[in-house]
Structure 1
Amino acid sequence: MKTWLFFDRFKFFVRKNSSTSGAVKLASETYVNAQADGDVTLPVLIMHGLFGSKAVWAHIARFLAMESNPRRKIIALDARNHGDSPHTSEHSYEHMSNDLLYFMQMNKIAKATVLGHSMGGRCAMYFSLTQPDKIEKLIVCDISPINNNDSQFSTIKFQLETMNQVKFPKDVSLHEAKNDVDKQLSVKIPKPLSRQFILTNIIQNEDGSFSWRFNLPVLVQNFQQNIDQFPNVEGKVFNGPVLFLIGEESSFVP
């Protein structure tokens, strides 16, 4: 069961305005209902959470595309250091916001509704504050801009460190490799659902070896300062419509 919270104004504070300096080209997947009548209106851009990818949102993106009236393109993105997007040594909400702006510029998207979950939700909030003219509406799923050391978001660092200790097996199938890694993770990550989500990020390389799809060393390095913490303040306001979707028993929102 979910609790839906509506806000018509979002105010927080950010460090500085964004530019596209150092931006990377984000991988994306576009969904649109070709059977619907009428012109396509402003798109919806979906930004996943930590360890996620555009593939995680494929089912929801298809549903939104089919149900949109008027017709909209639903575009699911891979964040830098995730999915099929480039790996870089830098990972912060400022960098991810620059990537989003660059994506919109390269695809000639003047304005969009941005939907972000967890890490993607914080990036969406930061983007709305630094680029308010680019946002039609903002949807934030199960995260807030409030830095709270007791939140579940902070415990993810432990999962990152646990993944960093994983030893991938050799000369086995992908299925066998996932089973092996699952056993390693289960010692410190007891929840099966958490491990199953993590295991979707194991890939087999051309030489037969295995690795994480996301850029684990960079995420570990940047987590505490640049992911767990929302950027410092300097007074920006987004006056457009905002919807916060929060799990009824969520520990990610204080």
Structure 2
Amino acid sequence: MTVSPPRDGEPPVEEPQSVQPTSRPPCPRCGTPHEPNQEYCLECGLRLPVEAKGLVPGLGRAWRRQLGWYPGDWVWPSLLALLIAALAGIGAAAFVSQDQKRADYVTGTSPFGAPSSTIPPPPERTVTTPTVPLTQTGTQPTPPEQTPAPALALKEWPAGKSGWTVVLASLPTANGREFALAQARAAEHSGLQAVGIIDSSKYASLHPGYYVLFSGVYTSLDDASTAATTAHSRGYKRAYPTRITP
């Protein structure tokens, strides 16, 4: 503080000294300036925060001074990644453009012009239609006539004779004889021998009203039982031996 010389009859006046700005950071609690490396505030005793050193903390402090807020240290890697991506995109675009110009230049200056496709078209396929040889009279030969398959020969039960047989199925006469014949053909195709049809109303030992599908004529029960076992193996699980009496 400086004192100006007094005028006549006036007391001396002290002039306030100008406060020189300091670069020392203030205490967060009391605002007293402290040295950068000072650990405690000499005025209030608060433990002072230690300022981080390095490039990123320095950039953060500069950001705060300019904008008054700071998003965080993550912003710097993000900005660096964006910068690298932008540079890579610019480089790729320049490379593609240069490569395209080079290809156009080669095509325009080549004495052979633009390259053409080297894949040949598929060859044409010629379909040959077989021809039928003609006879001496100029007409096509007549195809041979097909001989129809021989009719099914059913086993006839001996007239007036009793014996043993294997009953494969009892088919109601209401279904018709054609149905019974179809079942007889199926039995023969399965490999059974001497398959026939009996009208049960003509035999005393059978219940009337059925076409009895049988296989074989045997003189003993043992032979008929053996044949019934064979019928079981051919798919006729309900086949059984029985005696036929006129």
Which TM-score band applies after superposition, normalised by the shorter structure? under 0.3
Larger of the two Rg values belongs to structure: 2
With the length of structure 2 as denominator, give the TM-score of the two structures. Answer: 0.20
Q: Point out which structure has higher relative CO (alpha carbons under 8 A, 6+ apart).
A: 1
